Amino acid sequence: MNTCPRNHAGRRQAGVSLIELMVALLLGAIVVGGLIEVLTANRKAYQLQESNNFQQQNLRFASDRIGWSLRMADFWGGVNVADIQGLGDGAGANGCNAAWMRSGKPGPNGSGGIFGYDGRDAFPLAGCATVPTSDYVKGSDVLVLRYVDTDACDVADGATALPATLNTCQPSSYYLAANVGQQASLFAAGVGIPATGNTRRYIYPYRTEVYYLQPCTDRGTVVGATCNANSDDGDPQPTLMRMRMDTNGNLLREPLVSGIEQLQFEYGVSNDGNSITEFKIATDVTDAEWPTVRAVRVTLLARSRDRDVAISHADTFRVSSKCSYQVKNDGTLALSSTDNDCTGFTLSGLNRPDQFPRQVLQQVVQVRNRIRG
């Protein structure tokens, strides 16, 4: 019988102990937690940067769209506006009716190639039931422009009626038959082309456009629906709108750019007929000064759709020479208004507005057709 003790000196323990396993799991959890935090922060930073890029793109598009229309204002196919037959001067016009839409000549009741309205508690274009108060951002300005397109319609020079199919131009409910340097006549689409001068005649579509802000983008498909808390899937976005005359002679409302929180216009009047004397808000521009407007200062303020809770975005935003507002750290709004400019503007429908980044873009657009004339 062998009674010698077994030799365990050469044997090694296999695997890990429970303590070692727990330490390894703890370290792994710390590393994974750190990676998740880094990835989450990167994702949030990416979302905010993407939102910022989208915000800048919206501002550029909005300024380009308004700028293009302003540069087109008072274009009448090479004819002096006073020599155009059938173009109204505001007489008998009542905001947004047919006579008002055709009021391209300077006169009363918001007529002329350029006319503006300062923001109020309700849509400031009097008599225009097309835009109810619920579909208007209170305290934001309204701009009205009238002109004819540069793209003339393909109509034979001696034709007495518009062809069934128009080429090279967008259809309208009214057209301008113009002889460059002589005379022109505005006529309805269903009426024969009037006789004008004795030179080459051009047919241009007539346009009336209104720019303003709406508290939401999608008002819903229900007839008569207006902006409310449930619009835009429960997240209403202030939107730059364009109201234009359609082919039936009615005003059609269409959204252009979402996220535009404020819109202000100031008008550069020329009292000497040459240089701009000063920029005025619409209320301060007299009836005699509207035809002398040579440039328009456009101020757009865009608000991000995404919240940023990492830092406060409280700040003071100056949107015109007589209007500014402060978004405070507690989410309240302090409005500073002179001469009732931007009266009624509020952010009461937005929870914690100080958590949203904002950008302001301002540009001065030359009204080139008046300057050339």
242-258: pLDDT as tens digits: 999 999 999 999 999 99
- What's the order of all strands across the beta sheet hosting 333-337? 315-320, 323-327, 333-337
Q: Are 366 and 113 in contact (CB under 8 A)?
A: no
pLDDT band at 373 (very low <50, low <70, confident <90, very high): very low
Q: Which two tokens stand for residue 202?
A: 């051009």
Can you tell me the mean pLDDT for 342-346?
A: 93
Give the pLDDT confidence score for residue 295 in this predicted structure: 96
Q: How many domains does the chain contain in total?
A: 1
- Say whether pLDDT at 322 is over 70: yes
In a domain, 3, yes or no: no
| Mean pLDDT on 29-39 | 81
The answer to the question of residue 357 being in a domain is: yes
Are the beta carbons of 149 and 169 closer than 8 angstroms?
Answer: yes
Which pLDDT band holds residue 62 (cuts at 50, 70, 90)? very high
Is 137 inside a domain boundary? yes
Q: Which of 17-31, 59-73, 197-211, 305-319 has the lowest mean pLDDT?
A: 17-31
The answer to whether residue 2 is domain-embedded is: no
Q: Is residue 29 part of a domain?
A: no
CA 178 distance to own-chain centroid: 32
**Residue range 262-302, pLDDT digits in tens:** 999 999 999 887 789 999 999 999 999 999 999 999 999 99
Residue 268 CB contacts under 8 Å (≥ 6 apart), including other chains:
276, 277, 278, 279, 293, 294, 295, 296, 297, 364
> Per residue in 64-104, pLDDT tens?
999 999 999 999 999 999 999 999 999 989 999 999 999 99
Within-domain flag for 363: yes
Residue 21 lies in a domain: no
Measured distance CA(4)–CA(13) in Å, rounded: 23
Is the pLDDT assigned to residue 4 strictly greater than 60? no
Share the mean pLDDT of the chain: 89
- 120 within some domain: yes
- What is the extent of the structural domain holding 205? 46-372
In the block, which residue shows the tokens 């003790």?
5
